[in-house]
Chain A
Amino acid sequence: MASILGIIFSNIHNKEVFEITQVRTIASAPIGGRYRLIDFTLSNLVNHGVNHIGLVTKSNFQSLMDHIGSGKEWDLARKTGGLVILPPYGINEDTIYNTRLEALKRIISFINSAKEEYVILTDCYHVCNVDFSDLLDFHIQKNADITCVYRTQKVANDSYYLPANAFVLAPNKRVLSMDVVENVNEEANVSVDMWILKRELLLSLVLDAMNFNSHSFNKDILKQNVNNLKIYGYKFSGFFGNISSLQSYYDVNMQLLKKEVRQELFEVKGRSIYTKVRDSAPTLYCENAKITNSLIADGCIIDGNVENSILFRGVKVGKGSVIKNSILNQDTDVSEKTSLEYVVTDKNVKIYNKKEIKGSASHLIYVKKDASI
């Protein structure tokens, strides 16, 4: 199999889920009881033999560093290759990048010194289990210069879906044109911000971009080169959770309660999703526990009612408390006789006795990190 270098942009979508990313990067946003978003991206890469990965960071990345550590949980603590953290640095005035292309310019020496033949570039806001080997096969079979991964979906509600890049494709999947779409009520081939190309090509594109002082990977590289380069679209049709707002963060989490989604994401042989191990004890269900349709991580102690909810590691639910349609992040402590509905708590939230907090399906209540109520 051809060797592939991975490059992950950990900050590109920070602004979109601002509640969750106040204290962290989008890449380290907690999801599904025990994961961070980056676990999916990293595991997808590692499961396809990518063992040299550059992680581009920009700001707020302390929690990301804490999560990643040496990369050993993903088998990326290596002498050769492994996980390389690429913190922001620059010379003179333009020290901080804003776009992917600007980030690539700053890590050009990393790209240059790598030995791999191909590069996968990817953002970090998706919950999916992608078969990158199949993507590479497609790329080689089409003799493509760049292959972009896309999904066919509607971009309907502008508060929910952000403006996205959509491709117009020829029947052979060649990209004919690409444009930003927003609030269109019909299906479009929307880019999911994952690309594969040869490392040498990426180098020359980034060097050109430096000469011409261009900034956008989508606009200045892909769109500009639709006719000059063979750019193809690879359709991903499996489960795809797209985190682009608090509402979609909630919805994607809730999707994980479905057995078929669970199977597709977590139970594919040889394609496990790895994460940092916290050595929590198994979850203890006490005498008064009553659990329905919920995803519960290890380390919880539950003596109340939990319904249609996601409990992260170390959550406590006291006697007589009722948790409905909620997401309780790591170490949330709910005392006795408290009722929560449509609530998303961040880490370490303490909710004392006899409180009632009630949101609704369209108006979620978010409780920020370390808050006491």
Chain B
Amino acid sequence: MYFCTCEKNVMLNKKECVAMLLAGGQGSRLHVLTNRLAKPAVSFGAKYRIIDFPLSNCIHSNIDTVGVLTQYQPLILNDYIGNGQPWDLDRVFGGVHILSPYQGKDKTDWYRGTANAIYQNVNFIQRYNPEYVLILSGDHIYKMDYSKMLRFHKENKADCTIAVINVPMNEASRFGIMNTNDSMKILEFEEKPKVPKSTKASMGVYIFSAEALYKYLEEDEQDITSENDFGKNIIPKMLKNGLNLYAYTFEGYWRDVGTITSLWEANMDLLGVNSEVNLQDPNWRILSRNDAFPPQLIGENSTIVNSLITEGCLVEGTVINSLLSCNVKVAKGAVVKDSVIFENTIIESGAIVNYSIIDQDVIIGKKSIVGAPKEETNKITVIGSYVEVEAKAKVLPGAIVDSTIKGE
């Protein structure tokens, strides 16, 4: 899988395909979870962060040049990506690069939209003189071989290929829907149509032929009425002008984790031996930055059922249908059920946590009660980072907490 034309490309100072990962979104629908960091840096699946998925996909798809566009709260994300070594993206030529908005000679700009963010970094792309540019977003969970999509793009001599996934008809009106002919050529693009004509939903993964991309970005920038967005402006204009746009159907697991509910659900999708995501696949490991923690220690009277637990954890209580990130402690008599717990959080003895997402470095005090059993409520409880829930305190189901909760 790793053998390809990259050697040749190094010699020619050229990359066939460069990936640009849009990681600047605030993710306001994740509420307190994105108070301190950008959405792609949010913890996921016990030991990962969301951005590990697209970065791992890139390296497994033999794309070793990735620009990560950051804007909102970039410190933790930048730190996390570092020199890209955990993803094998520390390269002499290529590798991962953080692209923040910068002060230019003539003008200074925040990224105004997805297309504008790429426009401002065209210089970065052109350093590698690629034939193709892959645009990704940093808030989806999926394992995808982009090289197959690139082959499809080349075979169709397309100007742009958009990855789509078939969604149930009753959900199609929540997505950008592609209407295509039989050979998957896109005839029409509808953003969140009330009456969808197809179930092919855009995954936010685009491959552009570089020349077409440069031309349309330049034109879009001149258009003062444009919102500088790929979905709203660039794609419709390309279609209008009769360019070759194709839809590439991806089959497999794909989830947008932009809301509390979808984040919780996608985490739960990792449980069980028959999980669609299959984190254990040796040919498609999800790579991540690791801290140096010892293996998890499971104590004398603990109960663990159907859960995903990682390094540094100390479990002496009960963990059911839950995910524990690095260094989480669950004390004797504490119960964690149907919940997702981020790193360094401590659940003290006798505390009960139900149907919740608890951010990092939280203390859940002795005999406190967080949330209500999933059977009794449809509301997920969320506790923000560094919050202390004092002993015997009670956090109501559906609460979103970002400051200390007093005990009795």
- A interface, CB within 8 angstroms of B: 32-34, 43, 72, 256-257, 259, 262, 265-266, 272-275, 277, 279-287, 289-299, 301, 303, 306, 311
Contacts and interface: CB of A to CB of B under 8 A. Distances in A.
A293 B295 contact: no
A24 B305 CA distance: 37
Contacts of B295: 32-34, 295-298, 311
Contacts, number: 112
A129 to B, nearest CB: 11
Interface in B311-344: 311, 314, 319, 323
A284 B304 CA distance: 10
A266 B271 contact: no
Contact of B304 (A32, A259, A285): A285
A266 B311 CA distance: 12
A72 to B, nearest CB: 7
A294 B298 contact: yes
B311 A292 contact: no
A43 B292 CA distance: 11
A290 to B, nearest CB: 8
B408 interface: no
B285 interface: yes
B86 interface: yes
B293 interface: yes
Contacts of A296: 295-298, 309
B393 interface: no
Contact of A297 (B288, B292, B302, B311): B311
A33 B294 CA distance: 8
Contacts of A266: 293-294
A279 B294 contact: no
A285 B270 CA distance: 11
Interface stretch (B117-125, B202-210, B272-280): B272-280
B262 interface: no
B307 interface: yes
B336 to A, nearest CB: 13
14 contacts: A32-B294, A262-B297, A273-B292, A281-B308, A282-B46, A282-B47, A282-B310, A285-B319, A292-B302, A293-B299, A294-B297, A295-B298, A299-B280, A311-B295
B3 to A, nearest CB: 21
Chain A interface main SS type? loop
B300 A293 contact: yes
Nearest to B46: A282
Contacts of A295: 294-298
Given A72-B85, A287-B305, 17 more contacts: A256-B294, A265-B294, A272-B293, A279-B286, A281-B308, A284-B272, A284-B273, A285-B306, A286-B272, A289-B305, A293-B299, A294-B298, A295-B296, A296-B296, A297-B296, A298-B311, A311-B295
A292 B300 contact: yes
A284 B293 CA distance: 18
B290 interface: yes
A292 B302 CA distance: 7
Contacts of A290: 303
B27 interface: no
B298 A282 contact: no
Given A33-B295, A291-B302, A291-B304, A298 B273 contact: no
Interface size bracket, B side: 35 or more
Given A291-B298, A298-B47, A272 B308 contact: no
Contacts of B297: 257, 259, 262, 294-296
B256 to A, nearest CB: 22
Q: Which 3 A-B pairs have the closest CB atoms?
A: A33-B295, A281-B279, A282-B46
Interface in B231-282: 271-273, 279-280
**Which one of B86, B272, B309, B323 has the greatest number of beta carbons of chain A within 10 Å?**
B309
A47 B367 CA distance: 38
B290 A277 contact: yes
Nearest to B307: A285
B270 to A, nearest CB: 8
A25 B244 CA distance: 60
B350 interface: no
A42 to B, nearest CB: 12
A285 B86 contact: no
A265 B47 CA distance: 22
B194 to A, nearest CB: 41
B365 interface: no
Given A291-B304, A298-B47, A281 B311 contact: no
**Considering residues A265, A283, A291, A296, which has the most beta carbons from chain B within 10 angstroms of its beta carbon?**
A283
